[in-house]
């Protein structure tokens, strides 16, 4: 019996170490995150309500939707990654890349526990595709310091990204993403590329 317990202990220990290594691959600041019960995170793409990965936040009793939010900074550019093979089109936010297209981003603010941040880090490829960084957003009249996933500039090829139109609300420019818009932009971009290569 003692040998079986030791073997089980070793099995669980190895699995835990594997799982921990996987977590650390995407999340290097777990000790910091574990100091807090919840974290604010600003989402602007596929993690929003009604989007492809929105269920992670909307169908979880531990998360709380805080409201529609807008970044305080106007130094963002929002570009669309178009995948012609599987139609997985999603936006990538960059901070201070193209002065001509810089604007605020309109998205959603969520309050989430650490385990959800860990899942988001894996989905977003934290440290590889995106970096989870800090920004300030406005939710109504309230100002909140929050996490945002920004594109890692050294990873993305800008010639493979497509401009998302800048919209205006009350005369102020901002970036806004929704899935239907992404599909239309992607289809148009693919058609233009096909025409230009023939």
33-43 pLDDT tens trace? 999 999 999 99
Do 9 and 71 sit in the same domain of this protein? no
Cβ neighbours around 69 below 10 Å, total: 26
Look at the pTM and tell me if it is higher than 0.85.
Answer: no
Residues 7, 80, single domain; the answer is: no
- Pair 177, 102 in one domain: yes
Same domain? 50 vs 120: yes
Number of domains in the chain: 2
Specify whether 70 is located in the same domain as 88.
yes
| Span 52-106, pLDDT tens digits | 899 999 999 999 999 999 999 999 988 888 766 655 678 899 987 776 678 899 9
Say yes or no: 5 and 66 in one domain: no
Residue 133: which CATH number?
3.10.490.10
- Judge whether residue 16 has pLDDT over 70: no
Q: Which residues contact 19 (CB under 8 A, 6 or more apart)?
A: none
Residues 3 and 41 in one domain: no
Same domain, 147 and 130: yes
Cβ burial, residue 52 (10 Å; 0-12/13-18/19+):
middle
Owning domain of residue 94: 37-197
Both 42 and 92 in a single domain? Answer: yes
With bands split at pLDDT 50, 70 and 90, how would you rate the model's confidence at 135?
A: very high
Residues 12 and 61 both lie in one domain: no
Same domain for 127 and 52: yes
Residue 171 has pLDDT above 60, yes or no: yes
């Amino acid at each position: 019996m003692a040998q079986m317990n030791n073997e089980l202990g070793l099995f669980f220990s190895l699995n835990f170490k594997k799982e921990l290594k996987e977590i650390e691959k995407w999340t290097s600041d777990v000790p910091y995150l574990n100091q807090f019960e919840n974290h604010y995170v600003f989402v602007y793409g596929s993690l929003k309500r009604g989007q492809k990965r929105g269920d992670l936040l909307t169908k979880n009793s531990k998360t709380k939707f805080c409201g529609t939010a807008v970044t305080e900074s106007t130094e963002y550019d929002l570009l669309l990654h178009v995948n012609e093979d599987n139609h997985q089109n999603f936006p990538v936010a960059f901070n201070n890349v193209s002065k001509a297209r810089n604007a605020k981003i309109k998205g959603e603010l969520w309050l989430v526990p650490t385990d959800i941040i860990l899942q988001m880090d894996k989905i977003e490829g934290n440290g590889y595709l995106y970096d989870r960084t800090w920004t300030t957003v406005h939710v109504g009249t309230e100002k909140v310091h929050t996490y945002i996933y920004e594109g890692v500039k050294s990873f993305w090829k800008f010639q493979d990204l497509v401009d998302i139109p800048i919209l205006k609300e009350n005369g102020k420019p901002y970036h806004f993403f929704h899935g239907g818009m992404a599909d239309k932009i992607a289809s148009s971009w693919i058609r233009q590329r096909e025409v230009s290569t023939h």
